[in-house]
Amino acid sequence: MILRGGFHAVPDGWLATIVTHLEMTQAPPSAPAALPTDVVLYHEDRPATNWYRDLFNRIGADWLWTSRLELAVPDLAVILSSPDVEVWTLRRGGTDLALCELDFRASGACELAFFGLDPRLHGRGLSHPLLAHAAARAWARPIRRFTVHTCTHDHPAALGLYRRAGFVPVRREVEMMPDPRLSGLLPADAAPHVPLIRRAGAMDAAAARR
């Protein structure tokens, strides 16, 4: 369906977001910067699903990340065990505080499937070196395109971060999704920058279970 100009009603219980797709068609010239001495870059080889979901939820809940929470555990395990999927994190004091997932399953391409930092690392300038490392890993394989997408529910600095790293916007989409806070998939206080709208007289699924 092609949307015409003007306003379009969003159904009750749903969200709408603008998705920007970006790509990089050659390796960036700069090498990854060094990390602080208290932070270690770590490759989680064949990550366990419970470890992954905990990290995914801690980092993504406030940006309404849900896709990997909706997957059945066996399906998620298949993805995480693929030799063409790399999961990296930043470890501080034994705690994993970042998610950087590279997906090489499409021929000739790499997708930066998920990228984010735990709030405990915000403000330390670690997004840039982690993203530079992701680009170096991506272009170490014989790819032609390195892609990523972000949306208006994401961190407001995400789009600028990707563009400074060398990604170029190539297209936009409108995405519609049921509000995961109404179903209980995410807590009601997640993503406070996206207002939670309850229809008058309606009870959401999370409240109904209490």
**Tens digit of pLDDT for each residue in 38-53?**
999 999 998 999 999 9
Q: Say whether pLDDT at 78 is over 80.
A: yes
**Assigned domain for 10 exists:** no
- My answer on whether 49 and 153 are in the same domain is yes
What was the pLDDT predicted at 131? 96
**Assigned domain for 9 exists:** no
pTM of the model as a whole: 0.91
- My answer on whether 197 and 144 are in the same domain is no
Residues 6+ apart with CB under 8 A from 72: none
Q: Say whether pLDDT at 81 is over 70.
A: yes
User: Domain of 66?
Assistant: 16-26+35-177
**Assigned domain for 55 exists:** yes
pLDDT over 70 for what percent of the chain?
94
- My answer on whether 140 and 198 are in the same domain is no
What was the pLDDT predicted at 123? 85
**Assigned domain for 116 exists:** yes
Question: Which long-range CB contacts under 8 A does 62-66 form with residues at least 24 apart?
Answer: 62/119, 62/190, 62/191, 62/192, 63/116, 63/153, 63/154, 63/155, 63/191, 64/15, 64/153, 64/177, 64/180, 64/186, 64/190, 64/191, 64/194, 65/114, 65/116, 66/177, 66/180, 66/185, 66/186
- My answer on whether 130 and 166 are in the same domain is yes
SS3 46: coil
Q: Say whether pLDDT at 201 is over 60.
A: no
Of 158 and 200, which is predicted with more confidence?
A: 158
**Assigned domain for 183 exists:** yes
- My answer on whether 117 and 202 are in the same domain is no
Q: Say whether pLDDT at 209 is over 60.
A: no
Amino acid at 202: A
- My answer on whether 114 and 138 are in the same domain is yes
Confidence of residue 1 (pLDDT cuts 50, 70, 90): low
Of 121 and 150, which is predicted with more confidence?
A: 150
User: 57: domain CATH number?
Assistant: 3.40.630.30
Task: Count structural domains, the chain.
Answer: 2
What was the pLDDT predicted at 2? 79
